Amino acid sequence: DESSSDNSSDNNAEATDGTEETEEADSSGETKTIRAGIGLNEDHPQYKGLLKFKEIVEEKTDGAIVVETYASGQLGDDRTMTEALQLGSQEVTIPSTAPLANFVPEYSIFDFPFLFPDEETADAVLDGEVGQKFLDMLEDQNLVGLAYWENGFRDLTNSKREVATAEDFEGLKIRTMENDLHLDAFRALGANPTPMAFTELFTAMQQGTVDGQENPVATIYLEKFYEVQDYVSSTHHVYSPFVFLMSKEFYDGLTDEQQTIVRDAALEAGKYERKLNREANEKYVEDLQNEGMTYTEITPEARQEMVDIIQPVLDEYTEKIGEDLVQEVYDAIDEASK
Ligand code: TK8
């Protein structure tokens, strides 16, 4: 059909232009291997997205690049795997933006509570100029950000009591991601936050080291948090993007054609992952209730009270990140929400 003939002519054009590269790759003959590790388990859309990435890359490079996939933190937690990419001992990981703030402090903006009003706005901003500006900031850290995937809107769970208003956070021992803004925001609400890698979270809840945590309902359900948590509140307090990261050393070692293939594959697999993630959200809420969790709606008034309490923390981080950059993000959000 039209596209394949175009494609083949492109390939010929590519092959002709890039004969050298192609021959070079062929002459070296070695297959390049991508060790791709994530923290969530194989049931989560993040893993299904990674399998889609694998399928596209192996098909498009005709096996010149092989992707090995490791779920459930087999290769470590987000920070450890991100450091492995910097060292060149792993090629791909897809962390939430929150732990990336330890590598690029400006990433804390993504954890401003209630920053993105909905998924469509998040997509428009992340897939546009502003999103690319943040991906470019990763280069100095020996990392290449190829695409944004979706973790989602985060909700609070705990094993102590229903949380319906800001007052209910008082004294709750909440695990947060390793991100100072999350810690400061939960402290402002009166909670007692502890930063912890995702790989230790289930055990910490099981042993009562923490009373609660916050994650999108997909994670709460698919990681079986209902086995150790009794209450879930629709706080939707942060929209967490995932960032598809590749080791810069590995990326720079690819041919131009292979770089285009992995970049396009990360983008295409990301759109597929976002779709899967959103399709099931309603279902997860019902599933959690069927597993015995009490679901508490947060009213707009209660949410506004939380926003007001957290505002001083956001003012402080706006200083740290830089007023202009924060304003640029808010302008992009306004533009996208029109
Ligand atoms: C999984 C994490 C998880 C994140 C967290 O590796 O740490 O709570 O929301 O999705 O990235």
For residue 219, which atom of ligand 1 is closest to its CA? Answer: 10
How large is the average pLDDT for residues 187-211? 98
Q: pTM score, two decimals? A: 0.90
CB distance 255 to ligand 1 below 6 Å: no
Q: How far is ligand 1, taken at its centre, from the CA of residue 169, in Å?
A: 21
CB distance 219 to ligand 1 below 6 Å: yes
For residue 21, name the pLDDT band (cuts at 50, 70, 90): very low
Residue 16 has pLDDT above 70, yes or no: no
pLDDT score at 3:
39
CB distance 40 to ligand 1 below 6 Å: yes
Q: How far is ligand 1, taken at its centre, from the CA of residue 9, in Å?
A: 42
For residue 73, which atom of ligand 1 is closest to its CA? Answer: 6
Model pLDDT for residues 232-254, shown as the tens digit of each residue:
999 999 999 999 999 999 999 99
Mean pLDDT of the chain: 92
**What Cα–Cα distance (Å) separates residue 27 from each residue in 32, 80, 264, 312?**
13, 35, 25, 60
CB distance 176 to ligand 1 below 6 Å: no
Separation between Cα atoms, residue 270 and residue 280, nearest integer Å: 16
How large is the average pLDDT for residues 253-263? 97
For residue 7, name the pLDDT band (cuts at 50, 70, 90): very low
CB distance 215 to ligand 1 below 6 Å: yes
Residue 166 has pLDDT above 50, yes or no: yes
- Write out the two tokens for 16: 């002709």
Q: How far is ligand 1, taken at its centre, from the CA of residue 318, in Å?
A: 24
Nearest Cα to Cα of residue 214 among 306, 305, 85: 306
Residue 135 has pLDDT above 60, yes or no: yes
How large is the average pLDDT for residues 10-20? 39
Residue 11 has pLDDT above 70, yes or no: no
Pairing of strands 192-195, 173-176: parallel
Residue with tokens 């944004």: 148
Enter the ipTM.
0.98
Least confident of 2-11, 147-156, 258-267: 2-11
Q: Which residues of 301-335 are buried (b: 16+ CB within 10 A; e: fewer)?
A: ebbebbeebbeebbeebbeebeeebbeebbebbee
pLDDT score at 29:
66
CB distance 78 to ligand 1 below 6 Å: yes
**What Cα–Cα distance (Å) separates residue 265 from each residue in 7, 88, 218, 329?**
16, 21, 23, 26
Nearest Cα to Cα of residue 199 among 110, 35, 70: 70
Q: How far is ligand 1, taken at its centre, from the CA of residue 39, in Å?
A: 7
